[in-house]
Amino acid sequence: TPCREGTDWLVKVFKRIAAGNGRPEDAQLMLDLCDNIEGKSFCPLGDAAAWPIQSAIKRFPEDFRKHLVSEAGVIIARSN
């Protein structure tokens, strides 16, 4: 199902970012995953998983960008 597979992918991306291995495209990847989950699950749980991630990325894009790594492998910025 979209929510079972999609939420697993979201967790993997979040863990990669938290480990300092985020990629410049990860924020967009998470938004794409959420779009594939939202409204396509059998129950509202999928929507409930997608909405906070979509909101956080759209409202605080700089906070996500601070934890992503440039294509050259350099951390763009990291908050203390």
Domain of residue 9, residue span: 2-65
Is 80 inside a domain boundary? no
Tell me the sheet residues that pair with 69: 75
Question: Comparing 8 with 69, which gets the higher pLDDT?
Answer: 8
69 band by pLDDT with thresholds 50, 70 and 90: low
pLDDT tops 50 at residue 80: no
pLDDT tops 60 at residue 6: yes
Is 72 inside a domain boundary? no
Distances (CA, A) of 49 to 9, 30, 52, 63: 12, 11, 7, 20
CATH code at 38?
1.20.1440.230
* Whole-number pLDDT of residue 29: 94
Give the helix/strand (H/E) hosting 25.
Answer: none
| Tens of pLDDT, residues 22-36 | 888 999 999 999 999
Is 34 inside a domain boundary? yes
Yes or no: say if 5 and 60 are a contact pair by the CB < 8 Å rule: no
Is 8 inside a domain boundary? yes
Is 74 inside a domain boundary? no
Q: In 3D, which of 62, 55, 3, 71 has the Cα closest to residue 33?
A: 3
pTM given for the model: 0.79
* Count of the separate structural domains present in the chain: 1
pLDDT tops 90 at residue 55: yes
- Torsion (CA) 32, 79, 72, 50 in degrees, nearest 10: -10
